[in-house]
Amino acid sequence: MFRNLGAYLEALERRGELRRVRVPVTSELEITEIADRLVKRGGPALLFEKVVGKDFPLAIGLFGTRSRTAFALGVEDLDELARKVETLLALNPGKGGLSALLGLLPKLPLLKGFFPKRVARAPVQEVVLRGEAVDLFRLPVLKCWPLDGGPFITLPLVITRDPETGELNLGMYRMQVLDQRSTAMHWQLHKVGRRHLEKARRLGQKLPVAVALGGDPVLTYAATAPLPPLPGVSEFHLAGFLRGAPMELARGVTVDLPVPAEAEFVLEGYIDPEEPLVEEGPFGDHTGFYTPVDLYPRFHVTAITHRKGAVYPATIVGVPPMEDAYLIEATERLFLPALRLVLPEVADYHLPPEGVAHNWVNVALRKEYPGQAYKVAYGLLGLGQMMFAKVLVVVDEGVPLKPGFETLLHALRHALPGRDTLFLRGPMDVLDHSARAFAYGGKLVIDGTRKLPEEGEEVPFTPKAHSHLPEDPEALAQRQWPGVWGVTLRKEAPGQAFRLAERLLRTPESAGIRLLLLADHDTALSPEELLWAVLNNIDPERDARVMDGVEGPVLVLDGTKKLPEEGFTRVWPERIRMDERIKALVDDRWAEYGI
């Protein structure tokens, strides 16, 4: 448990996991480039003490490694989260009456801290700024990537109350700073905050909003967790359960909402559902691509409160690996026991970083009957935010689920393309740029379990990787791994990728291959980048085909940019890249930073 962000930063510094940057740096791109380099090499968190033109220091990389995320959540290892919840959920349905009640007694200490505690005085309200004194430009809000539409608040804890039921929600939604006293609020189609706003619209009310920044890092994590809709339970309860001590909440100074007493900042205000929506974006998102400009509600900030000596917390997202991967892993560990209550045959699951949360899920199951892999896939797709999953790879219990690429190679040994691949349709994350339509697209299930007689038995297959690959004028770069072939091309014509695939699969080098991945020319042929690019750029129902190789069927995934001539009418976004001038600047100043 860390009482607040300051206590966490002090603990990180004692562990040698925090570096102070004492020279002036800019919040426009420079901090992003520094932080991106460190997170990709597993480096320390950073405290920028002097941000040019801003009044507060900035902390970043708070969850930048798996071990640091575990430390932030008060455990030695993220797997402890699952064990903690398993103990709480361990029920004995054969017992009833007094025996059942007595069985619950040993678990009561686990609920210590579950219920928030109301306090009258809050450090976050040591300084109160209202009306004309509100100035968001004093905060070191980052412009993260060159094509971003402006500065974005990236670790906000957005608090709203359901206007009808009174249920609280704490969510994390990026906020683009529009001017001194307003931001856009990125409430996507499926988000709870958006539902609250729609209810306020029907009731003819403005929606009060409070946005906390900082506090115990457990609370920051809780705001990202896909908590199921349980009456009377909010993310404040989840944070209290995880930290073993109640979250201390105070009443906002201008809004009737609870705010974390130990936060660094709180932005208070409202959203008027009758106001015109505002343009938000572009934003370099966790997919590694820019989210295009879209319309979202405007959040009016009527007050800023903050503690004396406040530190502004931030994160960056982009091409993986990024620190959001560790928050995602914390969520998968935390919710594994609950998943097993619904799907008891699931031994484990993992969302590889290359899948940027929703694009790829590996699942291991205890297989007992034919078709069980598909039963599990259907079940997963019906659970909360798992409905957004694009590609699900199912393997037998005991098969390691990470690194993800190794799991995929194993699955291909037992998955005959066409017979053991299944295409579906369903809801997609609104950030998925490749789906056939906004928030709606195709999905793929690969059954990589050992096959039973009813499923057609195992088909003999020896995965191969050839050292010499066929020359083709359109194949810019090629690489094979046992069972997998990666190829890049410069996409210029509709259907080009599949025509190239057809030519390649007629060559002897397609022997021992069950998966052919086609990507754009600027994709590096490492397993991580290739899978990241392809998974981002496919709608499986449209972009996957089973084609003939010299030794049998091959699953071909066209992960190239889709063209209007191919019937794709949506905006195809730019990949995130840092400005070369900023990279050179950081190179020149690296020693000066003292990292």
Tell me which residue of 227, 365, 209 sits closest to 273, measured CA to CA.
209
Question: Using omega within 30 degrees of 0 as the cis cutoff, is the peptide bond preceding 93 cis?
Answer: no
Angstrom distance (rounded) from CA 567 to CA 278: 29
Q: Helix (H, G, I), strand (E, B), or coil: what is residue 101?
A: helix
In order, the DSSP letters of 10-31 are HHHHHTT-EEEE-S-B-TBTHH
Angstrom distance (rounded) from CA 126 to CA 399: 53
Q: Give me the phi and psi of 107, to 5 degrees please.
A: -90, -10
Tell me which residue of 217, 211, 202 sits closest to 164, measured CA to CA.
202
Pairing of strands 440-447, 391-396: parallel
Catalytic residue among 36, 216, 285, 420: 285
Q: Which helix (H) or strand (E) holds 280?
A: strand 278-280
Catalytic residue at 294? no
Which amino acid is it at 302?
T
Angstrom distance (rounded) from CA 348 to CA 450: 17
| Long-range contacts at 423-426 (CB < 8 A, ≥ 24 apart) | 423/540, 423/541, 423/544, 424/381, 424/541, 425/541, 426/381, 426/387
With beta carbons less than 8 A apart as the criterion, state whether 531 and 517 touch.
yes
Contacts of 109 (CB under 8 A, 6+ apart): none
Tell me which residue of 578, 505, 537, 594 sits closest to 30, measured CA to CA.
578
Which class for 344: exposed (0-12), middle (13-18), buried (19 or more C-beta within 10 A)?
exposed
CA distances from 591 to 27, 34, 199 (A): 19, 12, 53
Catalytic residues: 285
